[in-house]
Structure 1
Amino acid sequence: MRDAAAHPVHLPEPSGVPADDEPLYASRLHVYQQGVKGRLRTIKWAVLFVCLGLYYFLPFLRWYRGPNQPDQAVLVDLAHNRFYFFFIEIWPQEVYYFTGLLVLAALALFLMNAVAGRVWCGYLCPQTVWTDLFMAVERWVEGERRERIIADSQPLTAARAGRKVLKHFLWLMIAWWTGGAWVLYFADAPTLVKDLATFQAPMVAYLWIGILTFTTYTLAGLMREQVCLYMCPWPRIQAALTDEYALNVTYRYDRGEPRMSAKAAVKAREASQPAGDCIDCRQCVVVCPTGVDIRDGSQLGCIQCGLCIDACNTVMTKVNRPLGLIAYDNDVNIERRANGLDETYPIVRSRTVLYAGLIALVGLVMLYGLMTRSFTDMSVLHDRNPLFVQLSDGSIRNSYTVRILNKRALHRVFVLAVDNPPLARANAVGITTTAGDWPVIDVAPDATRELIVHVTVPNGASLPASSPITFRITELGSGERVTTRDHFIAR
């Protein structure tokens, strides 16, 4: 059955200012996708199950970090300003690691585009993954493409209404669990599940579950390909990043044209007349999740999922023609085949080497930072009013606010010192001192300790108006040391 609903949406050619009767938005033609079997479809199923499995069940994975520490493997602890990812713990001061991850994600996207076009869109994009699942549910409940087209063309019956209700119920359940899984990344998953079930969870948790349930149901169940066509910016961006060597889902028109039925093609070949392998069966169109006819060339709606490849190969097998009429190919090979040259697939080229090199560089920098980062930090803030105080005995005192950050889940003890030969002593107000005048500072696990430090220079010391001063803390036992520089104001 050839149905107009299966045709892709064709946008009008740009012509400056649109005519009065030219719509700015093409009205939607419902896409009835047909199921397909094949190698790429199997890969998409595998990717779908892996991605959704990780998303839904990763919050329940445990990771022991020590006493009094959360044991959830992946956790965004907003209450304590922490992000935990297995053995990695990120503090708010280390937000640059998230910047590095975003850079890596962008470079990986560029590399995938340089190698195989919109392979991200076809296999890994969350919109694609959830839409694929929703379409599978639709086919399971309402039947294959032909059954759905016939049912929608007939008056509504109780049986059909029941199937639609069941379909939307299952969609809502998937969307609800999608929103529920998201909030589990922000609190201990088993505890939050129990609180949600007993209606004791915070209202913000129910609010976000509701928001994500609505957006998932709307985007994956109702809008589908419209998100890719009108909302997503990546199809427009990636066109500027690709080149003629990138592998894209391609209809090899040099082999497929002229189109004709299988019987007509056999007769044409027997008469030594030109005959293409394409028999115009339109299977490549009906299996496309966005309703694109790949035979029209590269289009904005094509997400490079490769389902049309599986459908075409199935047909080519039935008509005893070589596979690969639709395949991942580059623009160069069509010209090379026309000139009798061998096909070329240069995956390793300057563009891909550059992206891979940048990914390796940024990854190594982040890895080095993680391996060498300190679990202790100190900041020093000089009091501004007044900058210095002259005491009754003529000595000069500067005051500083010192903050010591302990990033370990252990109680730690530090010795504070001031390094500058002309400075006589440092005295921490309210801190018990040992070993002369140097204070010993206790810092609780995973906490920040703030104290006021007075640095005094005795009367008669010859100092410039401003001289450098170095604050140093040393952990007792491990000897880990952190220093920070400031200035001592004398006049």
Structure 2
Amino acid sequence: MIRNLKNKTKAVYAPADKAGAAAEKEKPAPLYAKQIKIHPKRVWGAFRKLKWVAMIALLSFYYIAPWFRWDRGPGIPDQALLIDISAQRAYFLWIEIWPQEVYYITGILILAALGLFLATALFGRVWCGFACPQTVWTDLYVWVERIIEGDRAARIRLDKAPYSKDKIFKRVIKHFIWLYIALLTGGAWIMYFVDAPTFINDLFFKGEITGNSLFFIGLFTVTTYLLAGFGREQVCTYMCPWPRIQGSMTDEDSMIVTYETWRGEPRAKPARDGDYSNRGHCIDCGNCVVVCPMGIDIRDGNQLECIGCGLCIDACDNIMEKLKLPKGLIAYDSVNRQIARSDGKAVKRKLVRPRTIFYAILLTLVTGVILYTFGTREHLEVNILKDRQPVFVTLKDGSIRNGYEVKILNKTQHLRSFLLNIEGLENPTMKLSGAIEQTRSIVIEVQPDDVKAVHVFVAVPRKELKSDKTEITFSFVEMDPGYSDGSLDILNELRENQKHQTTFNGPKK
């Protein structure tokens, strides 16, 4: 890039007849490298087994989780994991989150980020290699491709071969299965936002589907098909920001996929006599390259494209086993351990170090805050908004009246009744909007898992007001829901009390 800039600068100050020739000769370097199709070879070993376990577990959970049931009582969705957009609720097993509690979602995202930071500091890009959705679905697509078209060599030959009935048949079957998997992915995603059995019944038995559901199924179908089927390693290299961020999360003690140069170099063909004492153990077979889903050579050192899946380790260990050499020429290791091993020093894993301690402390603190706030959160929220216009009203008998909008949020699955009283005024009376009778207190019933909004008018004799603005308190006392006449002789039956301050306006003295 520097060379290009220098050449361009020279061309600007060159004579006119030479400037055109220089510009023609020196073309700017492309910013995006053309994709070279990668056909990873099948390999078997510990890391491949781990990837299979991770893929099966994660995909099984993704597709099956919407069908888990959780009894929350009558009238409440019984889907264990559900984000009900229409009802403005999120359900996670026994936990119900209201829109006002979106900070819990924020806390979970912060926890996920800190957990990823800690995992990266300890084990490098373990998330990218085993749990990232792009990796999981790409693995699945490559497996389908291998089943239909064969292993690496067969797929390369098929790519180069002219179109024939056999090639067209294999390609059609492959893309059909890819699209089917993508469609299942989009359908499963929708079922996290609507009741799964109801959605399936409406779709397949009634032929009904909403526009929103159809849009998101199509969106996830197309993106899964394109990213896992065609984008693959390009997504990790060019679209994902994490490869560029994770470098700041690791250090010389982070466990990453490494090639032991001190042991592998110089490379040469396999020794016929089995003597590797005066040469490197690497036989330059290239197996570590052909099994890599990113198409890189780990022997060139740690690279941005490496996702830490460890398949090159399996490939190399298989070769070392055949040559009767020690495994671990390519290993999940830290830079410091590799240096110590090359110097013949004691090799230690340093999992506990300032970086990991810092991430662990942050993770613990955020977890503690979330658990504390969740454990102490109230199942009742009350909001009071005073009428701005008019500020007050003078009644026929000379009393002064103010209006208030009262909203009571009942987060439980039970009917709740509250006795509303006024403190701070002498001889106040209240009534609900539309009511005729004024009383000293009001009973407000709130349905389970619902919000009750009422308009309350408070009146007080003018002579009782000492100033044009009086601080008052609305007292909400929970009572037996079967009680309804609102008198004050049942205070022994009350269970919960909340007080909210506001003001009562009157004429200036």
Q: TM over 0.5, yes or no?
A: yes
State the 1:151 CA deviation.
2.1
State whether structure 2 residue 388 is matched by structure 1 residue 384: yes
Tell me the residue number matched to 1:4. none
Secondary structure at 1:323 match in 2 = coil
Instruction: Tell me: CA distance 1:14–1:112, structure 2 relative to 1, closer, same or farther (3 Å).
Output: farther
State the 1:21 CA deviation.
4.3
**Among 60, 71, 78, the residue aligned to 1:71:** 78
Tell me the residue number matched to 1:287. 291
On the 8 A contact 1:255/1:276 being kept in 2, the answer is yes
State how far apart, in whole Å, the 1-side matches of 2:307 and 2:386 are. 58
Alignment of 1:118-129 (within 5 A): 118-129=125-136
State the 1:118 CA deviation.
0.9
State the 1:426 CA deviation.
3.5
State how far apart, in whole Å, the 2-side matches of 1:399 and 1:141 are. 73
State the 1:152 CA deviation.
1.9
The AA in structure 2 aligned to 1:369 is: T
Instruction: Tell me: CA distance 1:265–1:89, structure 2 relative to 1, closer, same or farther (3 Å).
Output: farther
Tell me the residue number matched to 2:225. 217
Tell me the residue number matched to 1:442. 445
Tell me the residue number matched to 1:487. 503
On the 8 A contact 2:141/2:178 being kept in 1, the answer is yes
The AA in structure 2 aligned to 1:221 is: G
Whose relative contact order is higher, 1 or 2, with alpha carbons under 8 Å and at least 6 apart? 1
The AA in structure 1 aligned to 2:463 is: G
State the 1:247 CA deviation.
0.9
State how far apart, in whole Å, the 2-side matches of 1:166 and 1:112 are. 39
Tell me the residue number matched to 1:90. 97
Tell me the residue number matched to 1:365. 369
The AA in structure 2 aligned to 1:315 is: I
Structure 2 length-normalised TM: 0.89
State the 1:13 CA deviation.
9.0
More off after superposition, 198-207 vs 72-81: 198-207
The AA in structure 1 aligned to 2:409 is: L
Structure (1 or 2) with the larger CA radius of gyration? 2
State how far apart, in whole Å, the 2-side matches of 1:368 and 1:51 are. 30
Tell me the residue number matched to 2:181. 174
State the 1:399 CA deviation.
1.3
More off after superposition, 481-490 vs 159-168: 481-490
More off after superposition, 283-292 vs 477-486: 477-486
Alignment of 1:148-159 (within 5 A): 148-159=155-166
Secondary structure at 1:263 match in 2 = coil
Alignment of 1:341-490 (within 5 A): 341-420=345-424, 422=426, 424-430=428-434, 437-477=440-480, 479-490=495-506
State the 1:268 CA deviation.
5.8
TM-align CA RMSD: 2.1
**Among 2, 11, 31, the residue aligned to 1:24:** 31
Tell me the residue number matched to 1:329. 333
State how far apart, in whole Å, the 1-side matches of 2:329 and 2:246 are. 25
Secondary structure at 1:72 match in 2 = coil
For residues 186-226 of structure 1, the C-alpha deviation after alignment (integer angstroms, 9 at most, x for no partner) is: 11111111222242121321221111111100000111000
Instruction: Tell me: CA distance 1:452–1:229, structure 2 relative to 1, closer, same or farther (3 Å).
Output: same
State how far apart, in whole Å, the 1-side matches of 2:465 and 2:444 are. 31
Tell me the residue number matched to 1:102. 109
On the 8 A contact 1:171/1:217 being kept in 2, the answer is yes
Aligned residues: 475
On the 8 A contact 2:428/2:440 being kept in 1, the answer is no
State the 1:406 CA deviation.
1.5
On the 8 A contact 2:257/2:331 being kept in 1, the answer is yes
Q: What runs of 5+ residues in structure 1 fail to find an aligned partner?
A: 1-11
State the 1:385 CA deviation.
1.1
For residues 419-440 of structure 1, the C-alpha deviation after alignment (integer angstroms, 9 at most, x for no partner) is: 2254634433346989x62001
Instruction: Tell me: CA distance 1:27–1:191, structure 2 relative to 1, closer, same or farther (3 Å).
Output: same
State the 1:14 CA deviation.
9.3
Tell me the residue number matched to 2:307. 303
**Among 102, 107, 118, the residue aligned to 1:111:** 118
On the 8 A contact 2:118/2:359 being kept in 1, the answer is yes
Instruction: Tell me: CA distance 1:35–1:437, structure 2 relative to 1, closer, same or farther (3 Å).
Output: same
Instruction: Tell me: CA distance 1:472–1:236, structure 2 relative to 1, closer, same or farther (3 Å).
Output: same
On the 8 A contact 2:417/2:445 being kept in 1, the answer is yes
State how far apart, in whole Å, the 1-side matches of 2:436 and 2:318 are. 82
| Identical pairs, percent | 46
State how far apart, in whole Å, the 2-side matches of 1:156 and 1:141 are. 16
State how far apart, in whole Å, the 2-side matches of 1:409 and 1:220 are. 43
Alignment of 1:138-149 (within 5 A): 138-149=145-156
On the 8 A contact 1:123/1:305 being kept in 2, the answer is yes
State the 1:264 CA deviation.
6.3
Secondary structure at 2:267 match in 1 = coil
Alignment of 1:259-298 (within 5 A): 259-263=267-271, 266-267=274-275, 269=277, 273=278, 275-298=279-302
State whether structure 2 residue 245 is matched by structure 1 residue 237: yes
For residues 12-61 of structure 1, the C-alpha deviation after alignment (integer angstroms, 9 at most, x for no partner) is: 89976896242111111110111111111111111101111111011111
More off after superposition, 459-468 vs 299-308: 459-468
Instruction: Tell me: CA distance 1:265–1:13, structure 2 relative to 1, closer, same or farther (3 Å).
Output: farther
